[in-house]
Chain A
């Protein structure tokens, strides 16, 4: 079975600091797509960033960036200049063409941001 592993159930970061959330995945496919979602207490799942496996350049969205290591099957999320509003559950997910359009999610990392 294809799996996504988020090895950090909880993380903590101080405001204005940088934090990295880890994600590894297991697939034999060469073509796939990776996503990070954020779920604040409101429960709304929000897309943070996405990366195509065929792209070598790491995706960046404002304070959010990824470190995509294809050979290591690693897709970590870096949050710079952390803000109180970044506190949430973060889920890593991926999709392969053979799996249709459903996403396969990790178990999530709870991020606490302290003042």
Chain B
């Protein structure tokens, strides 16, 4: 089975801190994604990556950046955390070879910014 591991299940940070959310997948997937999940809003795409050092903006990239130095690892960075970034963050990966390839998700990181 594909395993997508997010380094923290819960995280509490202060306003203005630089925050790193880490995600690692073990299936050699080319694609990796970061989504944000808020009640009543569903999942919204922040950034995604097709390959090492490649990144593409999603629907809500403002206030976030990403890093993909190795194929298996995709990091989401909050340069200066704000309270409106309090949310659930979901990382996912997928295989690039099939158009119907599903996304495989991690267990999520619930981030609270105080």
Q: Mark A residues whose CB is within 8 Å of B.
A: 4, 6, 9, 31, 33, 35, 42-45, 47, 50, 52, 91, 93, 95, 97, 100-108
Contacts and interface: CB of A to CB of B under 8 A. Distances in A.
Q: Bin the interface of chain B by size.
A: 20 to 34
Contacts of A47: 102-103
Interface in B33-90: 33, 35, 40-45, 48, 50, 56, 58, 88, 90
B48 A107 contact: no
Contact of B107 (A9, A31, A44, A97): A44
A33 B107 contact: no
B31 interface: yes
Contacts of A4: 42
A93 B103 CA distance: 11
7 contacts: A4-B42, A6-B42, A35-B102, A45-B103, A52-B99, A101-B31, A102-B33
Contacts of B88: 43
B105 A45 contact: yes
A107 B96 contact: no
A100 B33 CA distance: 11
Given A33-B100, A101-B31, A102-B33, A44 B105 contact: yes
B25 interface: no
Contact of B42 (A44, A52, A101, A105): A105
A108 B102 CA distance: 18
Contacts of B99: 31, 33, 52, 95, 97
B105 A108 contact: no
Given A9-B40, A107-B41, A107-B42, A102 B102 contact: no
A52 B100 contact: yes
A36 B89 CA distance: 19
Nearest to A1: B59
A102 B105 contact: no
The 9 lowest CB-CB distance pairs between A and B, nearest first, are A45-B105, A107-B42, A105-B43, A43-B108, A47-B102, A105-B42, A101-B31, A33-B100, A108-B42
